[in-house]
Amino acid sequence: MQGLDILYEDNHIIAVNKPAGLLSQPTEQENDSLEIRVKAWIKEKYHKPGNVFVGVIHRLDKPVSGIVLFAKTSKALSRLNDSIRSHKMQKVYMALVEGIPAKKAGTLTHFLKQGDHCSILSNAQDPEAKQAILHYETLKEFQSSALLQVILETGRYHQIRCQCAAMGHPILGDIRYGAKQRISNRDAIALHHAKLTFPHPITQEAMHIETAVPHFQERCET
Q: Is residue 219 part of a domain?
A: no
Model pTM score: 0.93
pLDDT mean over 31-59: 93
With contact defined as beta carbons under 8 Å apart, do 169 and 190 qualify? no
Choose the catalytic residue: 5, 10, 32, 61. 61
Percent of the chain, pLDDT > 90? 82
61 is catalytic: yes
pLDDT mean over 72-96: 95
Residue 54 has pLDDT above 90, yes or no: yes
CA 105/CA 107 separation, integer angstroms: 7
Residue 209 has pLDDT above 80, yes or no: yes
* Per-residue pLDDT tens digits for 143-180: 999 999 999 999 899 999 999 999 999 999 999 999 99
Percent of the chain, pLDDT > 70? 96
Phi and psi, residue 126, nearest 5°: -80, 115
Total number of domains constituting the chain = 1
- Domain holding 169: CATH number? 3.30.2350.10
Q: Is residue 222 part of a domain?
A: no
Q: Which domain holds residue 93?
A: 6-213
Residue 5 has pLDDT above 60, yes or no: yes
Q: Is residue 117 part of a domain?
A: yes
What pLDDT score does 160 carry?
A: 97
* Per-residue pLDDT tens digits for 98-126: 999 999 999 999 999 998 889 999 999 99
CA 155/CA 151 separation, integer angstroms: 10
Q: Is 100 helix (H, G, I), strand (E, B) or coil?
A: coil
Q: Is residue 28 part of a domain?
A: yes
With contact defined as beta carbons under 8 Å apart, do 148 and 136 qualify? yes
What pLDDT score does 219 carry?
A: 54
Q: Is residue 203 part of a domain?
A: yes
Q: Is residue 220 part of a domain?
A: no
Residue 222 has pLDDT above 50, yes or no: no
